[in-house]
Amino acid sequence: MKTRDRILLCTLELYNADGEPNVTTLDIANELEISPGNLYYHFKGKEALLEALVDDFLLSTHSLLVSPEEPDDASPDDLWLLLHLLFEAIATHRFLFQDLSNLMGRYPFLRHAMRPWLAALRSRLNQVLRALRNSGHLICDEDAEQRLLDALCQTTLFWLDYQRVAGDGEVDAAGGVQQMLGLLRPCLDEETAEWMQLLINRYN
Amino acid sequence: MKTRDRILLCTLELYNADGEPNVTTLDIANELEISPGNLYYHFKGKEALLEALVDDFLLSTHSLLVSPEEPDDASPDDLWLLLHLLFEAIATHRFLFQDLSNLMGRYPFLRHAMRPWLAALRSRLNQVLRALRNSGHLICDEDAEQRLLDALCQTTLFWLDYQRVAGDGEVDAAGGVQQMLGLLRPCLDEETAEWMQLLINRYN
DNA sequence: GTCTATATTTAGATAGAC
DNA sequence: GTCTATCTAAATATAGAC
């Protein structure tokens, strides 16, 4: 494995474990048993390191957030898969969400990257909701749909952090998917709601 | 106004504006036009400063989270008032929630303070939900009630931060109350849901 | 109580040899 | 590509005069 890749992988692990603000370039070099000078040969500094990790994240979620060509059939199964892949990518880069405000404040490039990402997330989820509503499975007024959309976006961003803060032992992405589907359920028609509940229970 | 109080007030404002990790003791001293030595005369350091601010926060929310003596009648109006006061206190100390993971990681005392606080919040909200269910206004199964409870706790913790990250201009506490009531609405009986919608709209 | 001056520590970053 | 050695800058914290 190339040193550059080892650095990225190790940095990701340390950031996820301790939070980006609490990890120094020296920590990374020590963990890898390379010199700080070597680290700086591969990455100009912490910002370059972060940029590379953020690029990975954006790449891993891009295909999930672009609008699908054909109008979604929006079955619960499709939605489940979308959320599953999304939470997987977020869990892999969870350090990014754990200190999101802080990182966006300190790195302008991250603001410029995450604002559009969030907008794309919101737009994609909105599309899912509309498809569900058009097919008659989602029953709610416009106001409730917007609140649901906000709740879904918020849960996408902060579920892992919430679990961590609440201290519920090990944190897994599956719980986030369950929570998302669970938020949706009270607004679904009876048949779809039951199907949804089956999907939720399938994890346990 | 005593210097000690001026320091606390100024620190709160700077922390809320820029985030605790981005504010140095020198920033605070400069803003107040006092010397760093003077600052350290009043507070041993950043941790002592944080402790005082956290104490204020705990004090301002304590009465909201203890179980009421008499069983709650749990009218939407009572709930509204509870949420309004809660979000007001959180907005005043929003720096605490903006970097919650980070702060809890760096200051063990904060972990020991916030875990019980969160447990109390959850317990109090749970009580509200049970009262609503017992009076027949809340209609949902046990699983949905637990998910709703998590959604409410999460929104309490992260709504302001979510608004900030999403970049929706000015952030206000009222939106958080609306979102909380909005989350509840799909699970309420028709009459209560309408009442709730009236409460939500009353803000606008 | 408040100030000036300074000490300590640590993170981020670079230069130059190998 | 990698290392050693070192520099700079900044933040926390303290000493001692007033």
CB B112 under 7 Å to nucleic chain D? no
B 33-52: CB within 7 Å of strand D: 36-37, 40, 44-47
Q: Nucleotides of chain C within 7 Å of a protein C-beta?
A: 1-6, 10-16
Residue B23 has pLDDT above 80, yes or no: yes
In whole angstroms, give the CA distance from residue B204 to residue B200.
8
Residue B89 makes CB contacts below 8 A (sequence gap 6+) with B57, B60, B61, B64
Q: Do residues B130 and B51 touch, judged by C-beta distance below 8 A?
A: no
Measure A96 CA to D10 C1' (Å).
Answer: 25
Give the distance from CA B84 to its chain's centroid: 10
Of the pLDDT bands very low, low, confident and very high (cuts 50, 70, 90), residue A6 is: very high
Same-domain check for residues A151 and A193 = yes
- Please report which residue ranges of chain A form alpha helices under DSSP H: 3-18, 25-32, 36-42, 46-65, 76-92, 95-98, 100-106, 108-134, 142-166, 173-184, 190-202
Same-domain check for residues B31 and B58 = no
Residue A161 has pLDDT above 90, yes or no: yes
Task: Test A158 with B162 for CB contact under 8 angstroms.
Answer: yes
Same-domain check for residues B38 and B118 = no
Range of the structural domain that residue A11 is part of: 1-43
pLDDT at B128: 96
Percent of chain A with pLDDT over 70: 98
What is the rounded average pLDDT of the residues A163-170? 89
pLDDT at A72: 59
Question: What does the block give as tokens for A182?
Answer: 């669970």
Q: Nucleotides of chain D within 7 Å of a protein C-beta?
A: 1-6, 10-16
Write the single-letter amino acid at A58.
L
CA distance to B46, B53, B159, per residue, from B50 (Å): 6, 5, 22
Same-domain check for residues A39 and A128 = no
pLDDT at B1: 87
Lowest mean pLDDT among A64-78, A131-145, B30-44, B89-103: A64-78
Same-domain check for residues B15 and B32 = yes
Helix (H) or strand (E) holding A2, with range, is: none
Give the distance from CA A2 to its chain's centroid: 27
Encode pLDDT of B135-171 as tens digits: 999 999 999 999 999 999 999 999 999 999 998 788 8
Residue A162 has pLDDT above 80, yes or no: yes
pLDDT at A125: 97
CA distance to A142, A148, A193, B144, per residue, from A187 (Å): 12, 9, 8, 11
pLDDT at A20: 98
Decide if A18 touches B, using CB distance below 8 A: yes
| Chain B residues whose beta carbon lies within 8 Å of the beta carbon of residue A153 | 162, 166
Of the pLDDT bands very low, low, confident and very high (cuts 50, 70, 90), residue B115 is: very high
β-sheet bridge partners, residue A188: A138
Same-domain check for residues A58 and A154 = yes
Question: What does the block give as tokens for A151?
Answer: 């709740």
pLDDT at B154: 98
Give the chain B residue nearest A18 (alpha carbons).
Answer: B105
Question: What does the block give as tokens for A154?
Answer: 């918020």
Number of structural domains found in chain A = 2
pLDDT at B196: 95
Contacts 24+ apart (CB under 8 A), B190-198: B191/B137, B192/B76, B192/B132, B192/B137, B195/B76, B196/B76, B197/A143
Residue B73 has pLDDT above 70, yes or no: no
pLDDT at A67: 81
Is residue B33 left, alpha or beta, with left meaning phi > 0 and alpha meaning psi from -120 to 50? left
Indicate the average pLDDT of chain B.
Answer: 95
Same-domain check for residues B122 and B198 = yes
B 70-99: CB within 7 Å of strand D: none
Encode pLDDT of A35-92 as tens digits: 999 999 999 999 999 999 999 999 999 999 998 776 656 788 899 999 999 999 999 9
Residue B154 makes CB contacts below 8 A (sequence gap 6+) with A154, A155, A158, A159, A162
pLDDT at B72: 59
CATH number of the domain that residue A10 is part of: 1.10.10.60
Is A5 buried (19+), middle (13-18) or exposed (0-12) by CB count in 10 A? exposed
What is the rounded average pLDDT of the residues B55-79? 87
Same-domain check for residues A95 and A10 = no
CATH number of the domain that residue A155 is part of: 1.10.357.10
What is the rounded average pLDDT of the residues A178-197? 97
Same-domain check for residues A176 and A79 = yes
Instruction: Say whether pTM exceeds 0.85.
Output: yes
CB A46 under 7 Å to nucleic chain C? yes
pLDDT at B169: 81
Same-domain check for residues A23 and A75 = no
Residue B121 has pLDDT above 70, yes or no: yes
